[in-house]
């Protein structure tokens, strides 16, 4: 509490005046001679007690009256008391409108966003003329204050839903900080939202509380534009089997259908764009009827899962969407869009001392037992190391060196340049790496992750524990079911673990059971390139009974070696960069489309969901297409 004129509080000292009057005007007792003294004495004591109480009450009233006059003349105020907090001071008001997509929920003939704008406009019209108003939404920009109601209402009327809203707590804190800068004004924040569960988390509420504690004069008001017992049927995020497919590989799409507030029977439809020349028509490729149970208790919505499968998609890019056939109050979550690509099988070059050395990996990637019309993800060519200098490396997405021997520096430089231009190289080291001194010097170190120390004969097995690296993520779903211990590793190469012996951009992806590095990765030396190099400390080409020596491992020759097949496919998928494709983005995200290695573009055309086409140029040397204007929902 404070006072506008605190000096007048000194008037409270006048309270001493009634105290002095009380002391001066006390009535002195009079003496009387009366025969029945004992009755008079009792009456006298009773009268004195009553008079003393009356005098004290009168004294208190006189003191309170004088103190009240002094208190009133000092003009007390309550700091931070809202619109009446600073008498005579102008208002600084922030109007924060939640314009996320869920605010498009329609009740009657009005959406929640329209209702919020209507109430905010009424508030602007009824503010004092000298007020400053800032209109904020959940978009990226932060607008300042305006001093005229017309401009504020114009900003409100131009608000549109944003498909990529910023966290609501961040915008509330921005609004608080904005009005807190107006220290000479009464500071108010009005939040217009529908109070849905997705609006604010407990962490967000704590963040807002901290901002209010720092700006103790700011008052915040929440205006609820939602309704009770809302009803909505919505689609969850699409689960796509693969973004990149090979011809003949089926596409599987799964999606959850949610119902909130009422029982629902709805039809879910799948549409795919017709890829015939000149056609842009969406063709229905499937539909399913879904029955959802009633849930009006306000708890979790009822959910059902729908699956679609498409086969025999031709080469090229395919776009489509899954939608609910029926409309409801919130249509924005009734459609989910997708993009996938059908590519030819990735070309892989396998290099061994002889062609037989490539057998295990070749069969794991492209089994010869499959029928001719069956397509695989890889197409493998096999050559010997003697033919490697003349091989057209640029025709392949990945190269596998299976137990490479000592190679000329020119060949190592050729392979390193291939990786620097975006290719993938896999090194699977075995007995041909002896002696290691030749690999620890010269051009081979452009590819190897470090210097070899010795060949270890301590039996162990491959045991990847963290499967978050892209080279191994495909094993994550069934990692606990892989019996790596029955495929022992009998020999492997140890790397010198001193820090100065490790190459730049090197990291251990997986280890053996004895904690020695088993699989190591190294990024391209060029920052702009996306080439990868993988090094396995034990070979993938050893037969079960090699001539004149002991085998290095039983990974490809153990009982039912399906883990070896899975591991090969994962490693070469990573090397060929088929796992590095992203074709589906959230609206508002910056789209990053990576170009193929050695691919160069000078311009590109964006076809937007509304049918408009925009041509944009690309800076020279840029190896990806960047788009930051994809705000609308739909296929681009």
Helices H, strands E: what count in the chain? 9, 33
Element at 338 (helix H, strand E):
strand 335-342
What's the confidence (pLDDT) of residue 207? Answer: 92
Measured CA to CA, the distance from residue 471 to residue 575 in angstroms comes to: 8
Measured CA to CA, the distance from residue 190 to residue 175 in angstroms comes to: 9
Non-local (6+) Cβ contacts of 46 within 8 A are none
Question: What is the mean predicted confidence (pLDDT) over 618-635?
Answer: 85
In this predicted structure, the answer to whether residue 295 has a pLDDT above a threshold of 50 is: no
Cβ neighbour number for residue 207 with a 10 Å cutoff: 17
pLDDT in tens, 150-198: 999 999 999 999 988 889 999 999 999 999 999 889 999 999 998 775 5
pLDDT in tens, 523-571: 765 544 578 899 999 999 999 999 989 999 999 999 999 999 999 999 9
What's the confidence (pLDDT) of residue 157? Answer: 92
Phi, psi values for residue 382, rounded to 5° = -120, 135
37 or 502, which is more confident?
A: 502
Q: Give the SS3 label for residue 38.
A: helix
Cα 375 to Cα 18, 115, 248, 367, 580: the distances in Å are: 108, 56, 6, 10, 21
Residue whose C-alpha is closest to residue 178's, from 148, 139, 218: 218
User: What percentage of the chain has pLDDT greater than the value 90?
Assistant: 47
- With cut-offs at 50, 70 and 90, classify the pLDDT of residue 407: very high
Element at 591 (helix H, strand E):
strand 591-594
Cα 465 to Cα 133, 482, 507, 566: the distances in Å are: 57, 12, 15, 16
Query: Do residues 168 and 199 touch, judged by C-beta distance below 8 A?
Result: yes
Query: Do residues 397 and 380 touch, judged by C-beta distance below 8 A?
Result: no
Measured CA to CA, the distance from residue 332 to residue 407 in angstroms comes to: 60
Measured CA to CA, the distance from residue 618 to residue 625 in angstroms comes to: 8
Query: What is the value of pTM for the model shown?
Result: 0.70
The conformation of residue 2, written as its DSSP 8-state character, comes to: E
Task: Take residue 367 and report the two structure tokens written for it.
Answer: 């089994």
Sheet containing strand 316-324, strands side by side: 244-245, 335-342, 316-324, 264-273, 282-292
Angle (deg, nearest 10), helices 112-125 and 149-157: 180
């Amino acid at each position: 509490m404070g006072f506008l004129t605190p000096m007048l509080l000194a008037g409270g000292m006048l309270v001493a005046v009634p105290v002095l009057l009380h002391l001066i005007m006390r009535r002195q007792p009079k003496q009387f001679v009366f025969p029945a003294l004992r009755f008079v004495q009792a009456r006298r004591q009773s009268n004195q007690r009553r008079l003393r109480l009356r005098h004290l009450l009168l004294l208190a009233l006189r003191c309170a009256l004088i103190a009240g006059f002094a208190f009133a003349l000092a003009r007390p105020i309550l700091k931070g008391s809202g619109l009446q907090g600073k008498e005579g001071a102008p208002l600084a008001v922030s109007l924060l409108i939640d314009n996320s997509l869920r605010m498009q929920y329609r009740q009657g003939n009005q959406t929640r966003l329209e209702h919020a704008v209507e109430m905010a406009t009424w508030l602007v019209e009824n503010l004092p003329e000298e007020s400053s108003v800032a209109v904020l939404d959940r978009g990226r920009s932060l607008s300042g204050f305006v001093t005229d109601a017309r401009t504020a209402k114009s900003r409100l009327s131009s608000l549109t839903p944003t498909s990529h809203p910023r966290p609501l707590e961040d915008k509330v804190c921005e609004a608080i900080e904005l009005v807190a800068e107006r220290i000479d004004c009464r500071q108010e924040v009005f939040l217009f939202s529908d109070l849905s569960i997705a609006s604010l988390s407990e962490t967000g509420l704590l963040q807002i509380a901290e901002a209010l504690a720092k700006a103790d004069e700011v008052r915040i008001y929440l205006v609820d534009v939602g309704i009770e017992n809302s009803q909505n049927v919505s689609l969850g995020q699409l689960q796509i089997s693969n973004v990149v497919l090979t011809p003949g590989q089926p596409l599987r799409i799964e999606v959850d259908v949610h119902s909130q507030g009422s029982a629902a029977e709805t039809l879910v439809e799948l549409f795919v764009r017709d890829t015939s020349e000149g056609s842009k028509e969406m063709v229905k490729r499937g539909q399913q009827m879904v029955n959802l149970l009633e849930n009006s208790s306000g708890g979790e919505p009822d959910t059902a899962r729908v699956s679609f499968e498409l086969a025999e998609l031709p080469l090229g890019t395919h776009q489509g969407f899954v939608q609910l056939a029926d409309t409801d109050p919130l249509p924005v979550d009734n459609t989910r869009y997708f993009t996938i690509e059908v590519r030819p099988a990735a070309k892989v070059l396998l290099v061994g001392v002889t062609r037989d050395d490539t057998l295990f990996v070749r069969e794991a990637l492209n089994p010869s037992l499959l029928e001719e019309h069956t397509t695989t993800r890889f197409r493998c060519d096999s050559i010997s190391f003697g033919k490697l200098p003349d091989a057209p490396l640029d025709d392949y997405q990945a190269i596998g060196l299976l137990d490479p021997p000592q190679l000329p520096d020119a060949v190592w430089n050729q392979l390193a340049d291939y990786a620097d231009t975006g290719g993938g190289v896999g090194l699977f080291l075995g007995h041909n790496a002896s002696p290691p001194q030749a690999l620890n010097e010269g051009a081979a170190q452009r590819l190897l992750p470090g210097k070899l120390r010795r060949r270890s004969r301590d039996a162990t097995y491959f045991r990847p524990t963290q499967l978050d690296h892209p080279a191994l993520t495909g094993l994550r779903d069934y990692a606990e079911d892989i019996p790596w211990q029955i495929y022992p590793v009998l020999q492997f190469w140890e790397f010198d673990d001193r820090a100065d012996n490790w190459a730049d951009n090197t990291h251990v992806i997986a280890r053996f059971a004895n904690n020695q590095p088993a699989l190591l990765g190294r990024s391209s030396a060029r920052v702009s390139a996306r080439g990868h190099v993988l090094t396995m400390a034990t070979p993938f080409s050893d037969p079960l009974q090699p001539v004149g020596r002991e085998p290095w491992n039983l990974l490809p020759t153990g009982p039912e070696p399906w883990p070896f097949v899975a591991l090969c496919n994962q490693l070469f998928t990573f090397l060929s960069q088929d796992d590095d494709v992203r074709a589906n983005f959230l609206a508002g995200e910056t789209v990053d489309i990576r170009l193929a290695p050695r691919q160069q573009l000078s311009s590109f055309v964006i076809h937007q969901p509304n049918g408009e086409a925009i041509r944009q140029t690309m800076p020279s040397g840029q190896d990806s297409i960047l788009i930051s204007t994809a705000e609308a929902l739909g296929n681009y």
